[in-house]
């Protein structure tokens, strides 16, 4: 009958639409399923850490001791050129692996969730970003050791990264994960905002017509996002630095450490954000390099 024929045609259209959607997702997995995203994230991290490490050391001193930029730079000058890149191995290992996971897992998890969930795409991708950020927290021990090596109070205790790992081992596996809570609070939300806003911000920029303008747009997009997120989550990194500078002893809660810092800094928000302006500029450069390098390598591979 006409009704049966119409229903049959509608079913056929549904099948075609479903097949089309499946083909689109399948096309995406060809890109995602390879190690391309992981490799590009890894290389982008190495480039970034090498360029921005000295700035990071100045920032770290400000986060830990609440001192001015001039005083932090003075400390590094007293440490000497020999100690300028002291502690770079942990961030090289941690950042390269972290960014590889951040970009790679986000793409892979997005594909899996989009394929098996019926939720709106923005929620699905947000969940993928949170899961990728949570997975990155497994590498907390590298951030932990980096903190110890950058703190001049520990210069006499450790001569290198491996010695720091050995000393921490004496206190048990839990010691490697001091500061895990602020890292988890930072990673998930920052990933959601980074991946969610990266596209819209780039669309607001002038249309790129050449290879170099694409590179500039990617740098601006990553830099603006990185600077914004670095400022937004700055207090979490202040608490993390304080928690991770301790070796042994009581494991204090995030709220307890935060309140201690808050009282030490006269309950002033501006004091809590000391070093934030330097972090803003460092993040601008750092995430500009990361995003531009990542997108550049993605086009090459």
What tens digit of pLDDT does each residue of 226-243 get?
A: 999 999 999 999 999 999
Six token digits for residue 214: 């694409």
Euclidean distance between CA atoms 101 and 115, whole angstroms:
20
Q: At how many degrees (to 10) do helices 254-264 and 180-204 cross?
A: 80
pLDDT of residue 22: 44
pLDDT of residue 57: 84
CB 196 within 8 A of CB 268: no
Q: What are phi and psi of 157, to 5 degrees?
A: -90, -30
Residues 6+ apart with CB under 8 A from 301: 36, 39, 40
Question: Percent of the chain, pLDDT > 90?
Answer: 50
The helix or strand, by DSSP H or E, that contains position 270, with its residue range, turns out to be helix 269-272
pLDDT band at 223 (very low <50, low <70, confident <90, very high): very high
* Closest among 283, 258, 264, 86 to 194, alpha carbons compared: 283
CB 143 within 8 A of CB 240: yes
- Residue, of 122 and 3, whose pLDDT is higher: 122
pLDDT band at 16 (very low <50, low <70, confident <90, very high): very low
What tens digit of pLDDT does each residue of 176-220 get?
A: 999 999 999 999 999 999 999 999 999 999 988 888 999 999 999
Residue labelled with tokens 């049966």:
4
The helix or strand, by DSSP H or E, that contains position 74, with its residue range, turns out to be helix 69-79
pLDDT of residue 198: 93
Q: At how many degrees (to 10) do helices 2-32 and 89-116 cross?
A: 170
> Is residue 51 pLDDT above 50, yes or no?
yes
Please give the average per-residue pLDDT across 164-187, as a whole number. 93
Q: What does pLDDT average to over the chain? A: 85
Q: Which domains are seen in the chain, by residue range?
A: 14-300 (1.50.40.10)
Instruction: Label residue 71 left, alpha or beta by phi (over 0 means left) and psi (-120 to 50 means alpha).
Output: alpha
> Is residue 33 pLDDT above 70, yes or no?
no
Euclidean distance between CA atoms 64 and 46, whole angstroms:
25
pLDDT of residue 211: 86
């Amino acid at each position: 009958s006409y009704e049966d024929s119409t229903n049959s045609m509608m079913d056929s259209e549904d099948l075609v639409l479903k097949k089309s959607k499946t083909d689109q997702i399948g096309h995406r997995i060809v890109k995602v399923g390879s190690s391309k995203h992981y490799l590009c994230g890894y290389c982008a991290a190495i480039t970034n850490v090498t360029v921005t490490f000295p700035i990071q050391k100045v920032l770290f001193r400000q986060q830990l001791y609440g001192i001015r930029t001039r005083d932090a730079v003075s400390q590094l000058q007293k440490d000497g050129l020999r100690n300028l890149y002291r502690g770079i191995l942990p961030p090289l290992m941690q950042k390269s692996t972290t960014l590889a996971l951040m970009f790679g897992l986000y793409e892979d998890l997005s594909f899996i969730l989009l394929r098996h969930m019926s939720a709106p795409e923005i929620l699905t991708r947000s969940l993928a970003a949170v899961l990728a950020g949570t997975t990155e927290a497994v590498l907390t021990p590298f951030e932990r050791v980096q903190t110890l090596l950058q703190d001049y109070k520990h210069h006499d205790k450790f001569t290198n990264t491996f010695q720091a790992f050995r000393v921490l081992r004496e206190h048990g596996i839990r010691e490697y994960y001091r500061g895990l809570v602020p890292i988890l609070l930072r990673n998930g939300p920052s990933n959601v905002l980074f991946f969610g806003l990266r596209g819209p911000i780039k669309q607001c920029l002038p249309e790129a017509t050449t290879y170099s303008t694409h590179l500039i747009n990617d740098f601006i997009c990553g830099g603006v996002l990185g600077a914004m997120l670095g400022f937004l989550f700055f207090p979490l990194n202040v608490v993390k630095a304080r928690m991770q500078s301790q070796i042994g002893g009581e494991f204090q809660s995030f709220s307890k450490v935060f309140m201690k810092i808050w009282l030490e800094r006269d309950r002033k928000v501006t004091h809590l954000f000391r070093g934030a302006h330097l972090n803003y500029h460092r993040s601008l450069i750092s995430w500009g390099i990361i995003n531009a390098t990542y997108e550049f390598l993605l086009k090459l591979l």
